[in-house]
């Protein structure tokens, strides 16, 4: 194998080694959000800080929507009449905004990451 080819192989292996991160598959706390008439219900979801959670979003509208959150780095198309799962966290205590990309003025909500025993993060 020539030097450049060997370097390329090592380089690709290094990249894949970086990507081989293990993800926890244990049962996670689950929270449900419903999208109806371009509004999220509930509009504020309290989740435990420092823990990964499963967010199940049910789009009850007849149109697709895109769940988007710059704070959470999440972006997922919600198809009409379907349940979609997004994994969030572990989060630092605080408030994280999310919105529907196709109806940003209507479909808005927040995830509040709270420490046990200290529910008020404001």
Q: Which residues lie near other proteins (CB under 8 A)? A: 4, 7, 11, 14-15, 18-19, 21-25, 52, 63-64, 66, 70, 73-77, 79, 82, 84-90, 92, 101-102, 104
| Cβ neighbours of 43 (radius 10 Å) | 12
Q: How far apart are CA 92 and CA 70, in angstroms?
A: 15
Cβ at position 1, least distance to other proteins in Å: 13
| Cβ neighbours of 113 (radius 10 Å) | 23
Cβ at position 91, least distance to other proteins in Å: 9
Q: Are 64 and 108 in contact (CB under 8 A)?
A: no
Cβ at position 42, least distance to other proteins in Å: 20
């Amino acid at each position: 194998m020539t030097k450049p080819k060997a370097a390329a192989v090592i380089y690709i292996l290094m990249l894949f080694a970086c990507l081989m991160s293990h993800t926890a598959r244990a049962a996670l706390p689950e929270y449900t959000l419903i999208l109806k008439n371009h509004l999220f219900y509930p509009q504020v979801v309290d989740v435990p800080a420092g823990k990964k959670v499963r967010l199940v979003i049910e789009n009850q509208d007849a149109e697709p929507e895109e769940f988007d959150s710059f704070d959470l780095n999440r972006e997922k198309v919600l198809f009409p009449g379907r349940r979609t799962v997004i994994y969030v966290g572990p989060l630092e205590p605080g408030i994280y905004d999310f919105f529907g990309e196709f109806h940003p003025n209507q479909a808005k909500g927040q995830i509040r990451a709270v420490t046990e025993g200290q529910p008020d993060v404001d």
